[in-house]
């Protein structure tokens, strides 16, 4: 079974205004409150973070989403 987490509205709004890396998805780095970084994760339709089967993440633990841009570097959104 696929494990997805619906992002908060402020992240959805931010990602909706960013380019996609492919049809309907973006590749992002997620920084958590504890300092852990989840690298190169997929967000579907600017709304759903795909998680590994064993991962359990609380929405409130996400402090930054950094989108990977193809050629111009990174863009980020922090709370």
At 71 the pLDDT is: 47
Give the count of domains, the chain: 1
CB 48 within 8 A of CB 6: yes
Q: What is the mean pLDDT of residues 64-76?
A: 69
Q: Is the dihedral of CA 59, 68, 77, 13 positive or negative?
A: negative
Q: How confident is the model at residue 78 (pLDDT cuts 50, 70, 90)?
A: low
In this predicted model, which residue has the larger pLDDT, 75 or 59? 59
| pLDDT tens, residue by residue, 2-38 | 699 999 999 999 999 999 888 999 999 999 999 999 9
- Distance separating alpha carbons of residues 77 and 79, to the nearest angstrom: 7
Q: Is the dihedral of CA 8, 13, 19, 24 positive or negative?
A: positive
Q: Strand 48-51 relative to strand 62-68: parallel, antiparallel, unpaired? A: unpaired
Residue 64: both structure tokens together? 């930054």
pTM: 0.81
Print the domain residue range for 69. Answer: 3-78
């Amino acid at each position: 079974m696929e494990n997805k987490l619906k992002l908060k509205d402020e992240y959805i709004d931010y990602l909706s205004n960013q380019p996609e890396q492919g049809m309907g998805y973006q590749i992002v780095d997620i920084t958590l409150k504890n300092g852990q970084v989840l690298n190169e994760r997929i967000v579907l339709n600017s709304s759903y973070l795909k998680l590994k089967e064993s991962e359990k993440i609380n929405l409130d633990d996400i402090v930054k989403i950094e989108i990977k841009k193809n050629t111009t570097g990174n863009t980020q959104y922090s709370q």
